[in-house]
Amino acid sequence: MNNQKNAEIVYPHEWEFRIFALDEFYNSVRNESVNVFDSLGLEFFFRDGNTSTSGKYKVFVIETTVPDRLTVDKAHAALASIQGVKMVM
């Protein structure tokens, strides 16, 4: 029997989005990401991540504070729809 309580996220909450982008789209993905967060009215900053061994993918992290789960879902969907994005975590 599991006695642990489910952890509940309390909002506003600091959040990191990890964006995996194809190398040839990296700059445009970063630019479009700015538009996503501006449209949601969120302050944010970028942090560079790793590059895949093959050099095909680059990763960057966007850190922000989200007011609610709906905003997380909107940001995730908008980031994932950008041309050149392979994955958003």
CB within 8 Å of 1: residues ≥ 6 apart = none
Is the Cβ–Cβ distance between 34 and 62 less than 8 Å?
A: no
Give residue 7's pLDDT.
80
Enclosing H/E stretch for 29: helix 26-39
In the chain the domains, ranked by start, together with CATH numbers, are: 13-88 (3.30.70.260)
Q: pTM (2 decimals)?
A: 0.89
Residues of the chain with confidence (pLDDT) below 50:
1
Q: What whole-number distance in Å separates Cα of residue 28 and Cα of residue 73?
A: 22
Per-chain mean pLDDT for the chain: 94
**Residue that is written with structure tokens 């600091």 in the block:** 14
**Residue that is written with structure tokens 């909002």 in the block:** 11
